[in-house]
């Protein structure tokens, strides 16, 4: 897989702070939320944090997948739909949570299911940003975000490898 030159690594601490900031921004609306629909898999972690901060107990998932690399996104496939109760109201008073909106293709699929829901992501890229109501950080379209659940801890070589230096 060919990745872009721009990298945006996100630590667990940073992601937790950003997800809490998303909750604070959403809390400013003074809206009573019936529940959260998180987009799996990336939306699971921020949905847990947002649900705790806003004291929302009903958490539902929608599972959308596309098999792709950075340059090519494949066909979108809905693996699991949202429950009928939330679909019946078209998502009114429902919060959709995801980690990132990139191209906006996943957001389009979920927005079509729940057109009245409030869509919130921690990070947004320009192509997906118009589909999101609330986000914390925008990164350029050619930036690859390395989420903490995608990374492991490994030894890092020093920049200067000269033992005399």
For the chain, domains (ranges, CATH) are 7-148 (3.40.50.2020)
pLDDT 10s digits, 88-97: 999 999 999 9
For residue 69, indicate whether it is catalytic.
no
pLDDT 10s digits, 2-11: 556 789 999 9
| Separation in Å, CA 129 to CA 8, 50, 137, 156 | 18, 20, 10, 34
For residue 102, indicate whether it is catalytic.
yes
Q: Count Cβ atoms below 10 Å from residue 11 Cβ, excluding itself.
A: 12
Q: What is the pLDDT of residue 67?
A: 60
Mean pLDDT of 129-152: 93
Is the pLDDT confidence value at 68 over 80?
Answer: no
Residue among 18, 30, 102, 133 flagged as catalytic: 102
């Amino acid at each position: 897989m060919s990745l872009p030159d721009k990298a945006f690594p996100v630590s667990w601490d940073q992601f937790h702070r950003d997800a809490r900031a998303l909750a604070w921004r959403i809390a400013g609306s003074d809206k009573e939320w019936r529940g959260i629909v998180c987009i799996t898999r990336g939306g699971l972690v921020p949905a847990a944090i947002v649900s705790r901060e806003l004291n929302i107990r009903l958490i539902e998932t929608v599972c959308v997948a596309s098999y792709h690399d950075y340059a090519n996104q494949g066909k979108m496939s809905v693996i699991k739909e949202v429950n009928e109760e939330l679909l019946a109201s078209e998502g009114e008073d429902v919060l959709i949570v995801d980690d990132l909106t990139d191209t906006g293709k996943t957001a389009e699929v979920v927005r079509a299911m729940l057109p009245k829901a409030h869509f919130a992501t921690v990070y947004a890229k320009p192509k997906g940003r118009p589909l999101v109501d609330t986000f914390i950080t925008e990164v350029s379209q050619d930036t690859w975000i390395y989420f903490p659940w995608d990374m492991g801890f490994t030894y890092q070589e020093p920049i200067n490898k000269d033992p005399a230096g």
